[in-house]
Amino acid sequence: MIRQPTPISRLYAWHRDALAGKPVAVHEGEPQCGWFKTRLVKGGPFVPASISIHRDVDENGELASDERLVCEVNGERRDPVKAWLWVCKNPISRTEYLDLQALQRRHPEMAATRAPIRLRAGQIRP
């Protein structure tokens, strides 16, 4: 039996539609691939989050094992099923995701993600 990897266009269809402003269904226990921003505490800074597929592909391009969802929130692994309803509210582009990671590296106060922060307009610029 040939087992083909799920096409990237299908994996990220929900995310693409959400960014385009199309109505998307959110179902508990059914996480979708994409890039997101979320807060770890109320009033805290946004942190990057992502859900992606991990898969092992052999030399013929066939799946060597089952595809597995992987979730990362602020660089820490999380259960994608448990994190889904929490992160799905704020989908962002991959570029914005990478910019958010870079912002954290440039500004230490953005890395203190477990405490609320108060930023004045113009205090932090991309």
How many CA atoms lie less than 13 Å away from 57 in the CB half-sphere?
11
Q: pLDDT by residue (tens digit) across 80-94?
A: 999 999 999 999 999
Angstrom distance (rounded) from CA 9 to CA 91? 16
Q: What is the pLDDT of residues 28-49, one digit of tens each?
A: 999 999 999 999 888 888 999 9
DSSP, res 5: P
Q: What is the pTM of this model?
A: 0.82
Check pLDDT > 60 for residue 1: no
Identity of the amino acid at 9 = S
Collapsed DSSP state (helix, strand, coil) of residue 70? strand
Domain borders along the chain are: 8-111
